[in-house]
């Protein structure tokens, strides 16, 4: 019997506790680099995380993502070598006074995390003409980033840490994981249980950066027009501001 298309259903409100849980996951999510426990992530938990990612919004409902689950220790070692080479190059790009601090930062958990996960974007999925991507070719990439965020927030709710590794040469990762050229590498993630999360992002604690004040980032109707915006926002003491992120996330 043919499935009957269902129409809109009534929007159900979240209870105060449910709403608070969503915001808790958002505000306490952290980029985990060195707190991973050796405890295995059960298959059913991993599938819940991947299912959360798979329910991300995607333009034209093209669902351009794929998930490469990496548990093999030899492959992790190869990826870690690629990271180490790129990381030495990255260190040299910073000023002398920043290099020592950079070198002290732990920027990955490739070998320590029980699961590594590469999330990709197949840029050919859906064909040449995709609804919603006719004038902005990047929408498939943006959709896949939404899948990363869905997974990250679901992981936080499960007590699982996630770290985003971004320091590697694209061709190294393609070679190690056999990724074809038409597929974009979006995120390489380290995933595993942790027994603690930083109360604020690690990069602030290490003195690298602070989060920008929200009121400085909101414009009214056009770029850099802050008219009637600041007065409508609650005042935030700069001393209470949360830290900012680098490309390695917080």
Highest mean predicted confidence (pLDDT) among 99-113, 163-177, 198-212, 236-250: 163-177
Task: Kindly state whether residue 6 falls inside one of the protein's structural domains.
Answer: no
| pLDDT tier at 224, thresholds 50, 70, 90 | confident
Do 40 and 163 belong to one domain?
yes
Do 186 and 64 belong to one domain?
yes
CA distances from 170 to 34, 65, 174 (A): 24, 17, 6
Task: Kindly state whether residue 153 falls inside one of the protein's structural domains.
Answer: yes
Report CA dihedral (244, 90, 165, 208) to the nearest 10 degrees. Answer: -20
Do 184 and 89 belong to one domain?
yes
* Residue 66, C-beta contacts closer than 8 angstroms, at least 6 positions apart: 119, 120, 122, 183
Q: Are 64 and 58 in contact (CB under 8 A)?
A: yes
Task: Report the pLDDT value the prediction gives residue 229, as an integer from 0 to 100.
Answer: 61
Q: Quick one: how far is CA 198 from the chain centroid?
A: 17
Do 128 and 225 belong to one domain?
no
* Residue 45, C-beta contacts closer than 8 angstroms, at least 6 positions apart: 158, 160
Task: Report the pLDDT value the prediction gives residue 178, as an integer from 0 to 100.
Answer: 98
| 141/114 Cα distance (integer angstroms) | 27
How many separate domains does the chain show? Answer: 2
Do 70 and 159 belong to one domain?
yes
24-71 confidence digits (pLDDT tens): 999 999 999 989 999 999 999 999 999 999 999 999 999 999 999 999
Residue 110 belongs to domain spanning: 26-198
Task: Kindly state whether residue 169 falls inside one of the protein's structural domains.
Answer: yes
238/50: higher pLDDT = 50
79-115 confidence digits (pLDDT tens): 999 999 999 999 999 988 889 888 888 889 999 999 9
Do 190 and 154 belong to one domain?
yes
- Say if residue 6's pLDDT is above 90: no
* Residue 48, C-beta contacts closer than 8 angstroms, at least 6 positions apart: 154, 158
Do 172 and 133 belong to one domain?
yes
| CATH code, domain with 158 | 3.40.109.10
| 54/61 Cα distance (integer angstroms) | 11
pTM: 0.87
Do 74 and 141 belong to one domain?
yes
Do 167 and 241 belong to one domain?
no
Task: Kindly state whether residue 93 falls inside one of the protein's structural domains.
Answer: yes
Do 36 and 122 belong to one domain?
yes
Task: Kindly state whether residue 114 falls inside one of the protein's structural domains.
Answer: yes
Task: Kindly state whether residue 33 falls inside one of the protein's structural domains.
Answer: yes
Task: Kindly state whether residue 36 falls inside one of the protein's structural domains.
Answer: yes
Q: Give every strand in the sheet of 183-193, ordered side by side.
A: 65-70, 115-122, 183-193, 160-165
Do 162 and 225 belong to one domain?
no
Task: Kindly state whether residue 204 falls inside one of the protein's structural domains.
Answer: no
Using alpha carbons only, give the angle 225, 226, 227 rounded to the nearest 5 degrees.
Answer: 95
Domain-terminating residue out of 178, 198, 218: 198
| pLDDT tier at 232, thresholds 50, 70, 90 | low
Do 185 and 227 belong to one domain?
no
DSSP 25-79: HHHH--B-SS-B-SPPPPHHHHHHHHHHHHTS--GGG---EEEEEE--HHHHHHH
Report CA dihedral (144, 148, 150, 151) to the nearest 10 degrees. Answer: 130
79-88 confidence digits (pLDDT tens): 999 999 999 9
């Amino acid at each position: 019997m043919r499935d009957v298309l269902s129409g809109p259903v009534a929007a159900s409100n979240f209870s105060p506790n449910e709403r608070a849980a969503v915001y808790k996951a958002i505000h306490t999510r952290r980029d985990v680099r060195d707190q991973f426990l050796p405890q295995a992530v059960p298959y059913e938990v991993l599938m819940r995380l991947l299912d959360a990612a798979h329910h991300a919004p995607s333009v034209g409902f093209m669902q351009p993502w794929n998930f490469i689950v990496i548990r093999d220790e030899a492959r992790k070692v190869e990826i870690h070598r690629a990271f180490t080479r790129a990381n030495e190059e990255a260190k040299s790009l910073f000023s002398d006074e920043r290099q020592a601090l950079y070198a002290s930062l732990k920027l990955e958990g490739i070998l320590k995390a029980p699961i590594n996960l590469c999330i990709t974007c197949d840029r050919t999925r859906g064909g040449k003409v995709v609804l919603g991507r006719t004038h902005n070719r990047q929408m498939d990439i943006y959709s896949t980033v939404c899948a990363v965020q869905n997974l990250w927030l679901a992981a936080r709710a499960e007590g699982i840490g996630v770290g985003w590794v971004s320091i590697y040469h694209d061709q190294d990762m393609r070679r190690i994981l056999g990724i074809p050229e038409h597929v974009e590498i979006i995120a390489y993630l380290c995933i595993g249980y942790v027994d603690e999360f930083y109360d604020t992002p690690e990069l602030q604690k290490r003195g690298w950066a602070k989060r920008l004040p929200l009121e400085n980032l909101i414009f009214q109707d056009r770029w850099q027009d802050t008219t009637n915006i600041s007065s409508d926002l609650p005042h935030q003491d700069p001393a209470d501001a949360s830290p900012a992120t680098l490309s390695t996330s917080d």
